[in-house]
A and B are shown apart, each in its own frame.
Chain A
Amino acid sequence: MNFFNRRRKEQELDEELQFHLDEEAEQRAAQGLPADEARWAARRNLGSVALVKERTRDSWGLAALGQLARDFRYTVRGLRQNPGFVLTAIATLAIGIGINAMVFTVTNAVLFKGFPMVERPDRLLYLSSFDGCCVSYPDFLDWREQAKSFQGMALVHGIRSRLDDQGGIPEWFDVTEVSADTFKLVGQQPILGRDFTEADEAPGAAPVAILNYGFWERRFGKDPSVIGRSVRLNGTPASIIGVMPRSFTFPQKLEFWVPLMKTPHVMKRVNRNTWYAFGRLAEGVTAAAARAEMATIGKRLADEYPLTEKEFPPVVQTFTEFYLGRNAPLIYGSMWGAVGFVLLIACANLANLMLARSIGRSREISVRIALGAGRWRIIRQLLIESVLLSSIGGFFGWWLAKWGVRAYELAMVDHQSWLVVDYAMDTRILFYLIAISIATGILFGLAPAARLSKLDVNSTLKDGGRGSTGGGHAKRLSTILVITEVSLAVVLLAGAGVMIRSFLNIYNTDLGVDLSNTLQAGLELPPAKYPSQESRQAFFDHLRTRLEALPGIESIAFASRLPTWEPQRLPFERDGAPPVERSSRPRVARLLVNPAYFRTLRVEVVAGRNFTERDAATSLPVAIVNQSFAAASWPGESPLGKRLRFYEMDTPGLWLTVVGVTSNVVQSTVATPEFAALVYQPHKQLPIASMSLIARTRVPPETLTASFRREIAAIDPDLSVWNIVTLEQVLKGRYWNSQFYGALFLMFAAIALLLASVGLYAVIAHSVSQRTQEIGVRMALGGTASDIRSLVFKQGMIPVGIGLGAGLAASLAVNRLLEASLIQVSPSDPATLASVAVVLLIAATLGCLIPARRAMRVDPIVALRHD
């Protein structure tokens, strides 16, 4: 209905009612009443004209919108008179709604969306032998053949490849080797060229590659003639056969895909070289059923191939479990809960503000009711106000969320650059934001609305308009809201507190090594180029000599595993120990290191000697054990000169003579750090191909990254080197999760605390301003400043105390949910809970202090003269 039309209708209604009044008056006059008395009688008979008009307008249907528009304009006018309230409300709401939308976006991306551009990603399961790695090709073939739960299965393996396309400088790129049916399984096909076929996987087939769209765009300028072009991949000619659709990348961020070649090396069951397999669930099969079936298949394979399979049963995981860890649903769930709490606190805050405001407006509202506004109309008016505020808050919250998601994504990319997660804020997020904005508005608008339903118009109008009557009910409500806010904030603080404790525990764990000034790089010599032990030994010797010659290098170490990474655990036997059953042979972690290893990481040789360069293939096989192993194996005796041997594939190796004992090093995950038993062997006596290089530097380690790369390329330009970073950085990645989530929760808790104390402040400040007169009387009757202060503090601290108690009690229950992600800290850690209480009381004191000072400065004369 347009406004012109509307105005005419309004005029007609006026005229119609005027006619009615005239008619009525005329009739009464005809009955003998004097003219003006007849007019009054007619007026009384009609009742409130405004009410009649309003009810008639209601029946205009669409016209109700006009009334809404009027209420809306009225609301805007009212709000513009009170910019302080509006700004506080909008800021509070923007924060509360914004972080909710942000966490929803992140949680939705991580827990529910799965891979973007993949058909039904929720039907994909990821199969490996450990959490994340690795699978052998024959295992995969058996799984694929035997498992009925899957429509299909494919195998993937991430590598780094050197691409050299016609004269350009060769560069290293992230590449994934995939088995031929990978793209079919994820429901995608090249937009240009062709998909991989089985023929491409056969050993000796012509090397081919399919490009990622982004890479095609950046490197080849979206040139369609790239199909069929020949490039050099790792020094061998290969042809580009296809380009995948835009923004499709699977199963990691990468530049191109190549077929996973079935070379004789790959096809050996013992070589668990590929990353993992993934399978698409068959129609109607659940993940649990698939898991059960794979467990059965794993047992069957273990019986068939006990040597290679027994210790590596298949592990079947969902996207979230596989890529983000088993704790991800818990972590993201609690994150969601945490921001929900923050929003509730924001709501309680606003309800209190609105309540205070509605007390101030009691007179205005009573007048409106007396003039014929229905209560529903007034309540609707209040709801319009709160929903308007929350919508504006939601609008700003959207930008806040966008910014937050971006920051979150950057932090994630920094940590797991290969991980494909789609953080786009799509329409679903928008709907969520709109829904929570409106719900929030209604929720905090209901508090004053509820109060209004008890408003007594007569007494409010008689009472000087300060609205002190009916305050008892409102005060009770506002106290309850403060208690709720405080207890929610306490729960959040306690949750964040134990998570931070947990992170600090990890951070402060003594790993037994000195990480400062160390640089590391992962090296893997390809078996084709380095087939023999001698060739590998020669490479490592050569590399060590060249690197040691660099200025700023103190020593160069090699190790089969970095500290905190679990080494291979092998069955062993001590010389002279009673023989035991094959299956019950004890196992111990074994590390291969070079002589400089202990010196480089500052691990002390406490007895005997270190390895030397003379401990080589032809000399006496030796070993060094750590203190834990020595104490467990030869308690009270010197381990020096004792012998042990490892079993590999059930075959005993050579006897190793213990020549030294070292201090302990943590070689287990930081979540459960322990000084477990370790046996070291010289790498020279077992020169395996995959080693970590660790350098101790005299200069800041980062400055040597480029020269490291150059030196390695000088020896073998084809060798792919995994990221060269400081050891500290690598280890930071190990506890990144607890640091990151701890910090995030702390941020949420800090916001909650801030909101709750601002809320407390607002309530107390409002109450002081309402009680100015009372305070003035108290002072006039001889109340001292400290009496007044304790009056204000009592009012503030009692609900805070109740809230604190309730919050601590609730946190005992809530923190129990977090237990699985906590490390070495009890969910009811007394120190944490005590500090939470202290922090909260400080904040609450600050919240009471300012209004208390204001109350103490009240001038009785002014206060008593006050209206």
Chain B
Amino acid sequence: MQQPRTELLQGTLDVLILRTLVPGPSHGHAIAKYIQRTSEELLQVETGSLYPALHRLEAKGWIAASWEQSDKGKRAKFYRLTALGKKQLKAERSKWQAFSRAMELILNPADQEAQ
């Protein structure tokens, strides 16, 4: 049995991809696996959403792609963060932090009272 997975919220995939690319360039499959692993398998990235998102981000200029050798010596399309993408990630991150803090405050008001 697989553990229950959470659907990705609309618009969250973009920021996840950007964050995944911070350490260095990566290809599509690795990006999906990374997100899955890092979220403790809570988030499942559909291939049907991943590649459209990658191509969309590329078109926006937030990430750039180049064909390189993978660690197993095969040709793969590697994506890396651009300067524009870094700026975008910063903006998105603070937006998400504000958002998750707001969600937290509303969903767990008791914590707030306790403080």
**A716 in the interface, Cβ–Cβ < 8 Å?**
no
Say how far B37's CB is from chain A's closest CB, in angstroms. 12
A16 near B51: Cβ-Cβ < 8 Å: yes
Which interface class (under 10, 10 to 19, 20 to 34, 35 or more) fits B?
20 to 34
With A56-B52, A59-B56: A23-B47 Cβ-Cβ less than 8 Å: no
Question: Given the complex, which residues of A lie within 8 Å of B51, measured CB to CB?
Answer: 13, 16-17, 20, 52, 55-56
Contact partner of A45 (CB less than 8 A), chosen from B47, B56, B77, is B47
Considering only residues 20-66 of chain B, those with a C-beta below 8 Å from chain A are 27-30, 33, 46-49, 51-53, 55-56, 59
CA distance A583 to B47 in the complex (A): 97
Residue A606 interfacial (CB < 8 Å): no
List B contacts of A26 (CB < 8 A): 72
Interface 0/1 of A798-816, CB less than 8 Å to B: 0000000000000000000
A51 near B48 (CB under 8 angstroms)? Answer: yes
In the bound complex, CA of A17 to CA of B33 (Å): 15
Q: Is A24 an interface residue (CB 8 A)?
A: yes
Cβ of A265 to closest chain B Cβ, rounded Å: 84
Chain A nearest CB, measured from B47 CB (Å): 5
Name A23's contact: one of B29, B53, B75 (CB within 8 Å).
Answer: B29
A434 to chain B, nearest CB (A): 31
What string of 1s and 0s marks CB contacts (under 8 Å) between B72-93 and chain A? 1011110000000000000000
- Among residues of A, the one whose C-beta sits closest to the C-beta of B56 is A59
Contact across chains for A60 and B55 when beta carbons are under 8 A apart: yes
Known: A12-B77, A45-B47, A51-B48. A19 touches B55 (CB 8 A): no
Given contacts A23-B29, A61-B59, contact A16 B48 (CB under 8 A): no
Is A59's CB under 8 angstroms from B77's CB?
Answer: no
What does the 1/0 interface line of A12-51 toward B look like (CB < 8 Å)?
A: 1101110110111011000000000000000001111001
| B75 engages A59 (CB within 8 Å) | no
Contact A47 B59 (CB under 8 A): no
B33 contact set on A, CB distance < 8 A: 27
Min distance, Cβ A53 to any Cβ of chain B, angstroms:
8
Residue A541, interface by CB 8 Å: no
Residues of A contacting B77 with CB < 8 Å?
12, 15-16, 19
Cα A48 to Cα B46 with chains together (Å): 11
Q: Are A58 and B29 in contact (CB under 8 A)?
A: no
Give every chain B residue within 8 A of A17 (Cβ-Cβ). 47, 51
Contact call A59/B29, Cβ cutoff below 8 A: no
Within the assembled complex, what's the spacing in Å between the Cα atoms of A23 and B67?
16
Contact B28–A55 (Cβ < 8 Å): no
Q: A12-B77, A15-B75, A59-B59 are in contact. Are A20 and B47 (CB under 8 A)?
A: yes
B29 surroundings in chain A (CB, below 8 A) = 19-20, 23-24
Contact of A52 among B30, B47, B56 (CB under 8 A): B47
Look across to chain A and name the residue whose beta carbon is closest to the beta carbon of B77: A16
Nearest CB of chain B from residue A649's CB, rounded to whole Å: 90
- A12 — which chain B residues lie within 8 A by C-beta? 67, 77
* Given A20-B47, A47-B47, also A55-B52 (CB < 8 A): yes
The dominant DSSP class at the A interface is: helix
Chain B residues lying within 8 Å of A20, measured Cβ to Cβ, are 28-29, 47, 51
Q: How many A-B residue pairs have CB under 8 A?
A: 58
Interface residues on A, range: 20 to 34
B residues within 8 A CB of A19? 27-29, 70, 74-77
Q: Are B55 and A56 in contact (CB under 8 A)?
A: yes
CB proximity of A514 to chain B, nearest CB, Å: 86
For A46, what are the chain B residues with a Cβ–Cβ distance below 8 Å? 47
* A45, chain B: closest CB distance, angstroms: 7
Decide: B74 and A55 in contact? CB cutoff 8 A: no
Q: How far is the CB of B36 from chain A (nearest CB, A)?
A: 11
Q: Given the complex, which residues of A lie within 8 Å of B47, measured CB to CB? A: 17, 20, 45-47, 52
A24 closest partner in B (C-beta): B29
Collect the chain A residues with CB atoms within 8 Å of residue B46's CB. 47
Report the minimum CB–CB distance from B60 to chain A (whole Å). Answer: 10
**What distance in Å separates the Cβ of B54 from its nearest Cβ neighbour in chain A?**
8
CA A23 to CA B70, docked complex, whole Å: 10
A54 to chain B, nearest CB (A): 9
* Min CB gap B66→A, angstroms: 11
Instruction: Give chain B residues whose Cβ lies under 8 Å from the Cβ of A48.
Output: 48
Q: How far is the CA of A19 from the CA of B69 in the complex (A)?
A: 12
Nearest residue (CB) in B for A46 is B47
A58 nearest CB across to chain B (Å): 7
Contact A47 B56 (CB under 8 A): no
Report Cα–Cα, A48/B47, bound state, in Å: 10
- Evaluate contact between A52 and B48: CB separation under 8 angstroms: yes
In the complex, what residues of A have CB within 8 A of residue B27's CB?
16, 19, 23
Contact B48 A55 (CB under 8 A): yes
Return the contact of A16 from the options B28, B49, B53 (Cβ within 8 A): B28
Residue of B nearest to A48 (CB): B48
Q: CA A45 – CA B29 in complex, angstroms?
A: 12
Distance A198 CA – B11 CA, assembled complex (angstroms): 78
When distances are taken between beta carbons in the complex, the residues of chain B under 8 Å from A58 are: 52
Q: Which residue on B lies nearest to A22, using beta carbons?
A: B74
Docked Cα-Cα span, A12 to B72, in Å, equals 19
Least CB distance from B57 to A in Å reads 9
B68 to chain A, nearest CB (A): 11
| Residue in A closest to B29 when the chains form the complex, CB atoms | A23
When chains A and B are docked, how far (Å) is the Cα of A47 from the Cα of B44?
Answer: 14
**Chain A residue contacts of B55, Cβ below 8 A:** 56, 59-60
Bound form: Cα–Cα A61–B56 in Å:
8
Separation of A768 and B49 alpha carbons in the complex (Å)? 47
B33, B48, B77: most-surrounded residue (chain A CB, <10 A): B48
Query: Roughly how many angstroms separate A16 CA and B33 CA in the complex, as a whole number?
Result: 16
A27 CB contacts on chain B under 8 angstroms: 33
CA distance in complex: A24, B28 (Å):
11
Residues of B within 8 A of A22 (CB): 74
**Once the chains are docked, how many angstroms separate the CA of A60 from the CA of B56?**
7
Q: Does A59 contact B74, Cβ atoms closer than 8 Å?
A: no
When distances are taken between beta carbons in the complex, the residues of chain A under 8 Å from B52 are 52, 55-56, 58-59
Q: In the complex, what residue of chain A is closest to B76 when comparing beta carbons? A: A19
Q: How far is the CA of A22 from the CA of B74 in the complex (A)?
A: 10
> Nearest CB to that of A55 among chain B residues?
B52
Q: How far is the CA of A182 from the CA of B53 in the complex (A)?
A: 69
Docked complex: A55-110 residues within 8 A CB-CB of B: 55-56, 58-61
Report Cα–Cα, A26/B72, bound state, in Å.
11
For A51, the closest partner residue in chain B by CB is B48
- Chain A residues within 8 Å of B30, by CB: 23
Q: Which residues of A contact B56 (CB under 8 A)?
A: 59
Q: Which 9 A-B pairs have the closest CB atoms?
A: A59-B56, A23-B29, A59-B52, A56-B51, A59-B55, A55-B52, A20-B29, A56-B52, A16-B77
Extra contacts besides A15-B77, A55-B49, A60-B55 (10): CB < 8 Å = A12-B77, A19-B70, A20-B28, A23-B27, A52-B51, A52-B52, A55-B51, A55-B52, A59-B59, A61-B59
Q: Which residues of A are at the interface with B, using a C-beta cutoff of 8 A? A: 12-13, 15-17, 19-20, 22-24, 26-27, 45-48, 51-52, 55-56, 58-61
14 residue pairs bridging A and B, Cβ less than 8 Å apart: A13-B51, A16-B51, A19-B29, A19-B77, A20-B51, A23-B30, A26-B72, A48-B48, A51-B48, A52-B52, A55-B51, A58-B52, A59-B52, A59-B56
